Amino acid sequence: MSRRPAHLSRGALVVPAILAALGVFLVYGTMTMEVVGGGGLFGPTTMPWIVAVLSFVIAALLAFDILRPHAEYDRPTTGADAVGPDRAEGTDGAEPAAAEGVNGPAVLTAIGGVAGFIVVLPFLGWILSATALFITVAYALGNRRWPGIVLGGLAISAAIQVVFSGLLGISLPAGFVGGF
């Protein structure tokens, strides 16, 4: 039997378990939260409920994907199976080797981006800090299309600013931009 990739092995069920635990924590915290006043349409309990439901849905979908049979990884391979409709003639039937281990520079770049975000948030404000975080994480994940990641980061951070300020009434740090 061929080996499943790490993201489809049973050990990967840790991620759905963490997401489900986060959902339970959010449900408990939201149900025990003391809300002053009515809170309006988008009160202080709206976002925790949305995130809790999304956590449960994503955890269930991930667990289903991990546990379902994957024919390309779960079927036994024999010498006769090496050439078939899904294999090209003249190839040895071997699949390209997946990279093993952790990409240390990428992980350190992403962690550095989060640490930098925490440090510069009070000074630069939400929009610029979140854009820089988006750019850093996209770079760590291998994206090198600079105009796209800069515009994407600006769009996402601005949308989050609008949702929090306009709909929820929560002001995010403005930084030096707030003085203009």
Choose from 15-19, 36-40, 79-83 the range with maximum mean pLDDT.
15-19
pLDDT at residue 77, as a whole number:
57
For residues 168 and 127, which has the higher predicted lDDT (pLDDT)?
A: 127
The structure's pTM equals: 0.57
As a whole number, mean pLDDT of residues 39-65 equals 86
**In the chain, pLDDT over 70 holds for what percent of residues?**
74
Confidence of residue 163 (pLDDT cuts 50, 70, 90): confident
Q: What is the pLDDT of residues 76-116, one digit of tens each?
A: 655 555 444 554 555 555 555 555 667 888 889 999 999 99
DSSP string, 1-17: -PPPPGGGSGGGGHHHH
Confidence of residue 1 (pLDDT cuts 50, 70, 90): very low
pLDDT at residue 103, as a whole number:
81
Residues 6+ apart with CB under 8 A from 3: 73
Residue 150, pLDDT > 90, answer: yes
Structure tokens at 14: 């840790």
Residue-wise burial string across 133-155, b where 16 or more C-beta atoms lie within 10 A, e elsewhere? bbbbbbbbeeeeeeeebeebbbe
pLDDT at residue 69, as a whole number:
78
pLDDT at residue 12, as a whole number:
77
Residue-wise burial string across 116-127, b where 16 or more C-beta atoms lie within 10 A, e elsewhere? ebeeebeebbbb
Residue 120, pLDDT > 70, answer: yes
